[in-house]
Structure 1
Amino acid sequence: MQLNHNVTEFILLGLTQDPVRKKIVFVTFLIFYLGTLLGSLLIITTIKTSQALESPMYFFLFHLSLSDTCFSTSIAPRMIVDALLKNTTISFSECIIQIFSLHFFGCLEIFILILMAVDRYVAICKPLHYMTIMSLQVCGALVAVAWVGSCVHSSAQIILALSLPFCGPNVIDHYFCDLQPLLKLACADTYLVNLLLVSNSGAICMVSFVMLMFSYVIILYSLRNHSAEGRRKALSTCISHIIVVILFFGPCIFIYTRPASTFPMDKMIAVFYTIGTPLFNPLIYTLRNAEVKNSMRKLWSKKLISDDKR
């Protein structure tokens, strides 16, 4: 596809132009990003090294933590560095790569959350057939489909972005590249592209959110037949999943299911799902999960023992 544009780079305005606020942004988001990396990598390491966490639920949690790490890395490092710079520019090709990675890992996160809901549904509603339905081969195939589906979605975003001509203004009033801010800069009618964007990203967000909430309603309804202990454990897991779903999908639905008009609060809402959710996910999943906490303690005590032996 030929690139129909004269613009070779874009200027990112970031969250603020005020020098003092930029320093606050730098410190705050550096802490957030390091917290995300630490939390996600701790979960990834714990699941990979612990034999107690070999069930499908933790297989999906491993992939969720992996997508969290990559999703946050596609936005945060550049945003943190930009907060120190006076002029922040991003080349056209870098902008396209950022759109691809943002949508790829964001969509992957959505699909993994759906798989986690399916896993909880089978575990709670079909407990006797759980290991047959959610076998290692099935889980691997489902995750592979999630990765391929995410690639298809983000490729569609890139095709839409490359179809737009950019010949005039190159200032993006945001802290990262996304299709909505780019649509405002295109020197052509963007009605059709915007319609395709809403029907692609917007539909994925909305349909997935409705599916997830509906599945959790079914799961919670079926818990009435369980014992008090079983109900308490399943409820704890499901509530943590529901919190993650609402935190991630609320802002996404607000951003991607409306026409390409930008509001002043868009940037702050985007912070919530690009920086906030990847930070909250490890906290929510570890703080509400005794098995993960126990495995982390064992991993940590093993490390301390091996260090002492040295």
Structure 2
Amino acid sequence: MGATGADTDEAAGERRQLLNMAYRLLGSLAEAEDAVQEAYARWYALPGARRAEIVNPGAWLTTVTGRVCLDVLGSARARRERYVGAWLPDPLPGREGSGPPGGTDPADQIVLDESVTMAFLVILESMTPAERVAFVLHDVFRYPFARIAEVLGRTPGACKQLAASARRRVDAARPPEPTAGLAAAVRHVKEAWEAKNVTALVGLLDPAAMLTADGGGLAGAALRPVEGGAHIARYMVAIADRAPGLELLECPVNGTPGLVARRAGVVLTVASFEISGGRVSRIWVVRNPEKLGPWAREERP
């Protein structure tokens, strides 16, 4: 009985690690919570004697959570084909490494590092489900390919090839420069946007910039990406004209500088940015209210 209790406690202590893994795999906090919950449901459904036989409950839960996420990723493509407009990962508030280990809010459990920036999560979306699982588990969480093989049902060698293929995607899509100037760029965009200064915005945006918005059919958003710095600048000013009383705040989004727009204290939009050559090259805008739950719970200044 004592050993079983100890194993149960050890299993319960894995929840934060599993949630972090599942969020990176799925890009959705709600789906990540569901995947982890399903893994625990399967764990506690095991007979006590069977649980006692499992030497490493954390490894067992990791394997099961990974398999659940793999199934979700396989079905997500069909669901996202029916999604209204572009689908973007859930944006999370907070700074790098934030989130108290003992916090109860799932968003507080996510460690915000470079593997959860919006830019990185969007790259992950371009991978096949197997590539994404192999890459995230190995390159982000440092799991050996022998363990990843148990998740994917493939040989360790095949998993290594999948991770290498995913790594090439990341290297090809990753911006060539550090984001040290991102905070200043975001601040200048905020100021120009508030002033409705199209000329200033055009100067801050890369001529080949792209803005992708996710409204999910529940909030107004461009259904297709807006391309070109001049087009994006005019689009942003048009939004400002149609939204009097909108307040813009500089806030970290998934650990990097971003902007939040709110009206009467309610967060309506969360924007993430990427720069290239000193100018903003990508903007990801999430307006789907179903993805802004963590922001509603935040005490913003």
TM-score (norm 1): 0.30
Structure having the higher helix fraction is: 1
More strand by share: 2
